[in-house]
Amino acid sequence: MMQSGNKTETLQNGIIVVTGTSTGIGNATAKELASRGFYVLAGIRREIDADAVCGKNIEPVILDITNEAHIANLVRRIKEDPEKRPLRALVNNAAIEINAPLEVLHLSEWRRQFEVNVFGQVAMIQALLPELFESRGTIVNISSIGGKAAMAGYGPYASTKFALEGLSDALHRELEPFGVRVIVIEPGGVVSPMSAQVRIKAEKITHEMTPEHRSRYGGLMHAMVSLAESYIKDAVPAEKAGQIIADTLLTKRPRARYTIGRDAAMVRFLNWTLPDRVLDKILSRSTQAHYPK
């Protein structure tokens, strides 16, 4: 789609929408794509976040992907683009992460996470597909290696990413006959403000547990935080993740899925090759090593 003799002209004449660009992967991806010549409509939830993503070829737009009016405004902005640039791609990155044992996390928090991480992605795809059909564009869904294998305590976030993986599979097969590509990105540990918030969120959830829940899951919550913080030390910088995502958009024949980070590649390999019981033991051991002594 974007590899041709007039590549430079194509890049300079295309819009890409990236959601969730205030920080982390979304921010880095928006800046990387802009540096390569795309005009990026960068979704932010608050005006105050515009400064973090502003730059050449980047236009911050207020976009809460659970807000129908925001999505309608974005569609109007694309249709009324003064330069008549086509929409080349949608990078579905916006997400929230709240993890706790299934028994503990309130149902409203489960619903909120699905609203953003699944239904918000669907809303964006449905709204922008008419423009992507016209340009034979690309949809990039930012999943997680947690969408392939879920460790104890990570059920809420992982279940939304499993759902995103499934809908991406179906979408790929639905859109391929029309020339619209669907690519799934599965990051492992990436340095971002979301990863830095793990301890704060876990401590809040643990504090709100009943004594009975705390006796059952207090050790697991401690282990989840310790494990997450140990991953951060070797995590991929957000800028590197942004480069990988940009590279996939410039690949003539991209694969359906890409991992980011050695940890993601390893989990994906183990998930493919090992029986469930063996994988259970490996994941359980990695968690148990972080329980309080």
Selection from 269, 288, 289 nearest residue 279 by Cα: 269
Calpha distance 212→143 (Å, rounded): 34
Q: What is the DSSP letter of 141?
A: E
Measure the CA–CA gap between 190 and 214, rounded to whole angstroms: 29
The pair of three-digit structure tokens given for residue 134, joined into one six-digit string: 């016209």
Tell the burial category of 86 from Cβ atoms under 10 Å away from its Cβ (0-12, 13-18, 19+): middle
Q: Which residue has the tokens 């994988």?
A: 279
Residue type, 161: K
39 is annotated as an active-site residue:
no
Q: Are 156 and 105 in contact (CB under 8 A)?
A: yes
CB 246 within 8 A of CB 32: yes
Q: Which of 39, 154, 157, 217 is catalytic?
A: 157
Say if strands 181-187 and 138-142 run parallel, antiparallel, or are unpaired. parallel
Q: Residues with catalytic annotation?
A: 157
